[in-house]
Amino acid sequence: MTTTYTPRPIPPRVLKELRTADDAGRAPAPFTDEEGGAPLRCCLRHSTPGERIALVSYAPLRRWAAETGARPGAYDEQGPVFVHADDCPGPANPAVLPFTNAHRVLRRYSADGHILGGHLVDTGFPATLTEAFADPEVAVVHVRAVEYGCFLYEVRRG
């Protein structure tokens, strides 16, 4: 049996809201990315030089909880993410797990939004996801950067 996982970028509806006011209530300040390399959460790729992007505050667990009815309580948090300043087409290949070529932390959450643990991933990213979802209590996994702890994307089964 083959198990697949779906990396989820920030949905277009949410991006539209974040481009007006982010989850901290601030208006974004778009800028031209002169160097490129920013991890974009709207299309799950790195920015290229010259693209217009914005750094916004995003609360991924809060948004997921609003969709599912979970109550994360103290586990709710918000942090900085890069997105395109304007609409973008989303991921070029939505089946590919992005940003896996560096150390990552996978945080596992239950259906009620409580953290079930985390795992530092150096190699074997897909195997670590399989291990996380082997626990039937795991409803969603957040992939985060090690260096800053930033949210990169959410993974769900199927």
Segment 69-81 mean pLDDT: 93
Residue 157 is predicted with a pLDDT of 73
Using the predicted structure, report yes or no on whether residue 149 has a pLDDT greater than 90: no
Query: Does residue 26 carry a pLDDT above 70?
Result: yes
pLDDT of residue 38: 96
How many CB atoms within 10 Å of residue 50?
10
Query: Distance (Å, rounded) from C-alpha 89 to C-alpha 65?
Result: 25
Q: Does residue 71 surpass a pLDDT of 80?
A: yes
Phi and psi torsions of 62, nearest 5°: -60, -45
Structure confidence at residue 158 as a pLDDT band (50, 70, 90): low
134: exposed, middle or buried (C-beta count within 10 Å: 0-12, 13-18, 19+)?
Answer: exposed
Query: Could you tell me which residues come within 8 angstroms of residue 68 by beta carbon, excluding any fewer than 6 positions away?
Result: 111, 113, 139
Over 50: is that where the pLDDT of 23 sits?
yes
Q: What is the mean pLDDT of the chain?
A: 93
Q: How far apart are CA 69 and CA 112, in angstroms?
A: 8
What tokens were used for 151?
A: 């949210």
pLDDT of residue 96: 86
Mean pLDDT of 38-51: 97
Cα–Cα dist 109/103, whole Å: 20
Number of domains in the chain: 1
CA angle 66, 38, 56 (to 5 degrees): 40
Among residues 158, 95, 108, which one has the least CA distance to residue 137? Answer: 108
Query: What one-character DSSP code corresponds to residue 41?
Result: T
Shortest CA distance to 60 belongs to which of 10, 105, 96? 10
Residue 78's identity, in one-letter code, is Q
Q: Which two tokens stand for residue 40?
A: 């974009």
Query: Which residue range(s) make up the domain with 80?
Result: 5-157
**pTM of the predicted structure, to 2 decimals:** 0.92
